[in-house]
A and B are shown apart, each in its own frame.
Chain A
Amino acid sequence: MKEIPDSELVVSSREGSQEAYAELFHRYKHKLLNYIYGYVGNFTAAQELSQETFIRAFEHLDELRDDAKFSSWLFSIATNISRNFIAERKKEPGESMDRPINASASLTLADVVPDDRYRPDSQIEKQQLQEKIQRAIDSLAPHYREVLLLCDIEGFSYEEIARILRCKVGTIGSRLNEARKKFRAAFRKEKE
């Protein structure tokens, strides 16, 4: 069955269709939660921020200029919300960007997946590797995190990333250069 384009769902949502709104929500909730979790490194916060993103998007649906660009617009809202969350955390006493957010988070992904006791060693090693990747991401400045998550994890094109981050397409390549180098260095440090 042919998928209904986002633009049609946006128009119907604006006209008050609950079904169209539900379809957009189901279409993007997983990708959005995954992005925000990668960004803030705290699963509980990622759920709340995802919820906030959807609420804000649907409250401001009239402000979306190109209905076909709904996903970039949604991720742009998510990026702003996540940036603010990180900035607020930075202001809190005892918090700093040098300290992985996971260290003070109420819940990380490791807390919500099955207990280590029921997993073979290979699974535990895999989990540890995943935690190292997340900690290396957490150690980066927000503008590096977002470009890596959007490109290498969520698979957006350079044009889409430029729209999400509201910058020129030409900026994306150079920012990715820096971000990938910094991530690789942080990841190696985690492995030591």
Chain B
Amino acid sequence: MNTPCTTIQSRLSRYIDRQLPEEESRDVERHLTLCRGCRVESEILVDAKKILMSKERIPDFLTVPLKLKRG
């Protein structure tokens, strides 16, 4: 667990969104198995993402009033 917690925490969203290079991603993964504090941080971010992803989209029929026009 060489990488400091601050570095790991700064990478968490990129880790969750699979935007990290493979090596950094493995480093975060290893760190999370050993560090409770960073795991809690990670769970908060995952939870937020899950809630946001459950936000319903506007039903398609509500786009009907939008009219095609040029300015």
Contacts and interface: CB of A to CB of B under 8 A. Distances in A.
Nearest to A132: B51
Residues of A contacting B: mostly: helix
Contact of B71 (A59, A148, A153, A174): A59
B14 interface: yes
Nearest to A56: B71
Interface string A20-62: 0110010001100110011000010001001100111011000
A59 B11 CA distance: 40
Nearest to A158: B19
Contacts of A47: 65-66
A129 B11 CA distance: 30
B56 interface: yes
B62 A112 contact: yes
Nearest to A30: B63
B51 to A, nearest CB: 6
A80 to B, nearest CB: 16
Given A51-B67, A133-B54, A173-B14, A184 B62 contact: no
A9 B62 CA distance: 25
A133 B68 CA distance: 31
A177 B71 contact: no
B19 A152 contact: no
A131 B41 CA distance: 25
A173 B52 contact: no
A173 B19 contact: yes
Nearest to A169: B19
